[in-house]
């Protein structure tokens, strides 16, 4: 079972790598770097070609995911896009918009607007909360990497700081 989910994580398809796969199957994470570097398939180095090698590959990956996510949500905010259900299974490690579900655009600036009618009572995914929700998703991602002993807690915090800086 872990092999299947690891292979999905390691797929070169841009639609495959997403955060819940990583969160639900951390036992396969310790093999991630070896599998990417040694496989004949698309490597981490190809997908994330601008990783900084001042850090471990795992920390560089966490930072890259955080920065890509921050750039994505900043672009959403720039055009008034609202992702209606922005939980971890709708967050890509490639910084792509996936599984929109209900989504919408602002007609006029309203930070509390949400296109998701089931979100109306608490407005968790409203326009104004999108950056914080993405940061929370990054926190879950880095906590998983930390639990798998790929990065430590200080490095996880650094990745989240990079999200804030980039946004």
Q: Which of 89, 110, 119, 132 is catalytic?
A: 89
Active site residue 119: no
Q: Which residues pair with 105 in a beta bridge?
A: 81
Helix (H, G, I), strand (E, B) or coil at 111: coil
C-alpha span between 66 and 86 (Å, rounded): 15
Cβ within 8 Å of residue 18, ≥6 positions away: 89, 90, 91, 92, 93, 98
Measured on CA atoms in the order 111, 112, 117, 123, is the torsion positive or negative?
A: positive
Q: Which pair of tokens denotes residue 55?
A: 């850090």
Q: Which residues pair with 18 in a beta bridge?
A: 92
- Residues that are catalytic: 89
């Amino acid at each position: 079972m872990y092999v299947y989910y690891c292979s999905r994580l390691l797929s070169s398809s841009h639609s495959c790598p997403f955060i819940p796969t990583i969160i639900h199957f951390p036992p396969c994470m310790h093999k991630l770097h070896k599998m990417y570097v040694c496989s004949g398939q698309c490597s981490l180095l190809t997908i994330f070609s601008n990783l900084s090698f001042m850090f471990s590959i795992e920390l560089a990956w966490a930072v890259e995911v955080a920065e890509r996510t921050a750039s994505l949500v900043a672009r959403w905010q720039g055009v008034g896009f609202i992702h209606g259900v922005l939980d971890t299974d709708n967050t890509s490690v490639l910084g792509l918009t996936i599984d929109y579900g209900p989504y919408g655009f602002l007609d006029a600036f309203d930070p509390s607007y949400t296109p998701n009618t089931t979100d109306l009572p608490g407005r968790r995914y409203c326009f104004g909360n999108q950056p914080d929700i993405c940061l929370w998703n990054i926190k879950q991602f880095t906590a998983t990497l930390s639990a798998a002993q790929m990065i430590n807690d200080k490095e996880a915090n650094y990745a989240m700081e990079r999200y804030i800086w980039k946004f």
